[in-house]
């Protein structure tokens, strides 16, 4: 389900089936790492869009959680925990955080949800067909992760 | 703290708030009208086109996956959408099914679960469908997979829109 009023109507009606929240973690920089931030956003956005398409009936795609790349990830932890907690209160039993920022791997154990780290592929100057191919390759890795999580 | 230091006086605040509410109400009036005005246009835009998707010679009795793309214009963007069809041959008949699960819209795959060979399987809530798209009782979907309008011209299979089978 997308974060739109239409899909939200379906969600509210079919809540018992849509139990997974997909939450992108998006580093933002307005200085040195601006370009990398943009590349990551582009990649993760394409990937999550595809995941939403494949698993529309069970996964809700949340707006991304943005934070300054400059700040250490530890500082984001309390906030992200709050997001996760509220999502749980809202009825999501599986919370999947997805990011290209490797910083999160160091705090993975303190996160109350599944962290999926995908090294980003820069899309700059790539043809559409090639981008699609990359995304479908990444999807092949993600599929088993999700089904595993659901079977837990 | 004295009141004079505030940039927004009480009166100004009231004015702002009221304008805000008024603005909302105006939007409430205009939006439904806009919807009426736009709707017929949208419908005309949805006119079905046919897309070349596969060669008849490549089809088998086993459903195979074919992707096809086209340009779609929604309210803001023109974007390339990719759709998938599961196509198979049955004698002279060509069947093309939509992979969208009729339960809540996940993507189904043919023969994807070891326990249920020769069926379409939905990973989300384990919905299942027969080869012809019929939903299997006891699984969440309540109607068959949608079927594409198909047409064969010069050995090429063209697909139109996917339509409900019931
Ligand atoms: S979306 Fe396919 S079974 Fe629920």
Pick the closest to residue B150 from B67, B92, B94, B69 (CA basis): B94
Q: What are phi and psi of A140, to 5 degrees?
A: -60, -30
Ligand 1 centroid to Cα of residue B116, in Å, is 16
Atom of ligand 1 nearest to the CA of B141: 3
Choice from B99, B100, B119, B127 to test ligand 1 binding pocket (greatest atom count within 8 A of CB): B127
Q: What are phi and psi of B65, to 5 degrees?
A: -90, 130
Q: Which residues of A touch B105 (CB under 8 A)?
A: 56-57
Tokens read off for A139 = 């999807």
A 56-115 near B (Cβ less than 8 A)? 56-58
> Does the beta carbon of B125 lie inside 6 Å of ligand 1?
yes
Choice from B98, B101, B136 to test ligand 1 binding pocket (greatest atom count within 8 A of CB): B101
Pick the closest to residue B118 from B143, B138, B88 (CA basis): B88
Cα first-last separation, chain A: 22
CA A45 to chain centre: 8
> Which one of 3.50.50.60, 1.10.10.60, 3.40.640.10, 2.102.10.10 gives the CATH number of domain B51-163?
2.102.10.10
Number of alpha carbons in the 13 Å side-chain half-sphere of residue B123: 22
Least confident of A68-82, B38-52, B130-144: B38-52
CA distance B85 to B97: 6
Q: How far is A47 from chain B (nearest CA, A)?
A: 14
A 40-59 near B (Cβ less than 8 A)? 53-58
Residues belonging to chain B with any Cβ–Cβ distance to chain A shorter than 8 Å: 80, 82, 101, 103-107, 122-125, 140
CA distance B94 to A138: 32
> B59-88 burial, b if ≥16 CB within 10 A, otherwise e?
beeebeebeeeeeeeeeeeeeeeebbbbbb
pLDDT at B42: 45
Q: Which domains does chain A have, with CATH numbers?
A: 5-144 (3.40.50)
pLDDT at B72: 85
pLDDT at B78: 82
Which residues make beta-bridge pairs with B90?
B93
What are the residue boundaries of the structural domains of chain B, listed by start?
3-42, 51-163
A57–B125: do the CB atoms touch at under 8 Å? yes
Instruction: Quote the pTM value.
Output: 0.81
- B9 pLDDT band, cuts 50/70/90, is low
pLDDT at A152: 80
> Considering chain A, what is the average pLDDT of its residues?
94
Q: Residue B126 carries which DSSP code?
A: -
CA A107 to chain centre: 16
Tokens read off for B90 = 């049955």
Q: Of A14, A56, A132, which is closest to B106 when you measure between CB atoms?
A: A56
Work out the average pLDDT over B59-75: 91
**Statement: residue B41 has pLDDT above 50:** no
pLDDT at A129: 86
CA distance B85 to B47: 19
**Statement: residue B54 has pLDDT above 60:** yes
Q: Are A131 and B81 spatial neighbours (Cβ–Cβ below 8 Å)? A: no
Secondary structure of A38-105 in the HEC alphabet?
A: HHHHHHHHHHHHHHHHHCCCCEEECCCEEEECCCCHHHHHHHHHHHHHHHHHCCCCEEEEEECCHHHH
Ligand 1 centroid to Cα of residue A83, in Å, is 27
**Statement: residue A44 has pLDDT above 90:** yes
**Statement: residue B57 has pLDDT above 80:** yes
**Statement: residue B20 has pLDDT above 80:** no
> Does the beta carbon of B103 lie inside 6 Å of ligand 1?
yes
């Amino acid at each position: 389900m997308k974060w739109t009023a239409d899909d939200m109507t379906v969600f509210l009606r079919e809540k018992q089936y849509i139990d997974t929240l997909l939450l992108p973690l998006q580093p933002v920089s307005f200085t040195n790492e601006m370009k990398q931030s943009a590349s990551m956003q582009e990649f993760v956005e394409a990937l999550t869009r595809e995941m939403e398409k494949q698993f529309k009936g069970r996964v809700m795609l949340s707006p991304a959680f943005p934070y300054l790349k400059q700040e250490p990830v530890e500082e984001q932890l309390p906030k992200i925990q709050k997001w996760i907690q509220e999502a749980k209160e809202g009825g999501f039993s599986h919370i999947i955080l997805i990011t290209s920022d490797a910083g999160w791997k160091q705090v993975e154990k303190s996160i109350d949800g599944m962290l999926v780290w995908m090294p980003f592929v820069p899309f700059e100057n790539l043809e559409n067909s090639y981008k699609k191919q990359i995304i479908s390759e990444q999807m092949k890795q993600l599929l088993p992760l999700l089904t595993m999580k659901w079977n837990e | 703290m004295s009141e004079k230091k505030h940039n927004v006086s009480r009166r100004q605040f009231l004015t702002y708030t009221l304008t805000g509410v008024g603005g909302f109400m105006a939007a409430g009036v205009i939006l439904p009208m806009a919807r009426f005005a736009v709707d017929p246009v949208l419908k005309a835009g949805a006119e079905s086109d046919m897309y070349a998707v596969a060669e008849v010679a490549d089809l088998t009795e086993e459903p195979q996956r074919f992707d096809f793309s086209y340009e779609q214009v929604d309210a803001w963007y023109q974007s390339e959408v990719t759709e998938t069809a599961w196509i198979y041959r049955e004698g002279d008949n060509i069947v093309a099914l939509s992979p969208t699960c009729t339960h809540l819209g996940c993507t189904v795959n043919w023969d994807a679960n070891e326990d249920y060979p020769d069926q379409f399987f939905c990973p989300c809530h384990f919905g299942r469908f027969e080869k012809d798209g019929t939903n299997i009782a006891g699984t969440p979907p309540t109607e068959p997979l949608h079927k594409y309008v198909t047409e064969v011209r010069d050995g090429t299979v063209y697909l139109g829109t996917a339509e409900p089978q019931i």
